[in-house]
A and B are shown apart, each in its own frame.
Chain A
C-alpha cells in the first residue's frame, strides 16, 4: 500500500525566510504527486501537481516542488515566505487507475511577520 510521510509537523519561519517542506512516498510504480494547502478555516486547495515531464514543477503563489524519483521525494519550496503563507500543507500521491489519493499528515507552517 502506498504511504506518504511528511516529517515536519510544525514549522515556524520569519517573513522572507526560505521554505522547504519534505515529502516522501512509498510506491514503486508510476505516481502522480500533489501539494495542497489549507488556509485557516478553509478547504484544501491545489498548490501544484506532478504527473510527468520536467521534475521541477512550479505552482501558484511562488511555490515549486521537485520530484526526485531515486529518493521517492517531492519536496515543496518557496524562496521567500510571506505571512499570508501561514497554512497547513499536505503532500498527496495517487497511483493506479482508481485515483485513490493518499495524503500525508500535513505540515503546519506559521510565518511570523
Chain B
C-alpha cells in the first residue's frame, strides 16, 4: 500500500459522457501526477500539480482537465468521452525531498 488512494476503482460509462476521477496523495506530499495507461499507448504522463498549481503538462487532451484542491487531493475530469479513452488512470504523489513517485491503485475506465 503506497498511501495514495484513488476512487472509484472501476467506472463504466457511455460515449459523450463526463466523469471525475479522484486522488488523495500520501500524507504530506504536495505533488500529484496523473497518468493514463492503455494497451496501445502504454503509460502516458498527463499532468502534474504542485501545491494547487499546475506544474507540468504532458499528453493531456483538451477534453481532459485536472485540479488540485487546498487539501491537496486532486481530481481529473474527462469529458466528451470516446471509446479510445478507455484505460487505467493512475495518480501518483511525491514530496519535496525527491522525485520518487508513489502510485495509487488506479481507476479503470471503460467507455461503451
Contact = CB atoms under 8 A, between A and B. Distances in A.
A98 B55 contact: yes
Interface of B: 2, 31, 33, 35, 42-43, 45, 48, 50, 55-56, 58, 90, 92, 94, 98-106
Contact of B48 (A42, A51, A99, A106): A99
8 contacts: A43-B103, A43-B104, A44-B43, A44-B92, A44-B103, A45-B2, A99-B56, A103-B42
Contacts of A94: 99
Looking at B31, B42, B55, B104, the one whose CB has the most chain A CB atoms below 10 A away is B42
B79 to A, nearest CB: 24
By size class, the interface of chain A is: 20 to 34
A74 interface: no
Chain A facing B: main interface SS: strand
A106 B106 CA distance: 17
A103 B106 CA distance: 17
Interface string A68-100: 000000000000000000000010001000111
A98 B104 contact: no
B2 A43 contact: yes
B100 A43 contact: no
A45 B56 CA distance: 22
Interface string A22-60: 000000000010101000001111100101000000000
Given A36-B103, A45-B2, A106-B42, 6 more contacts: A32-B99, A43-B105, A46-B101, A51-B98, A99-B55, A101-B99
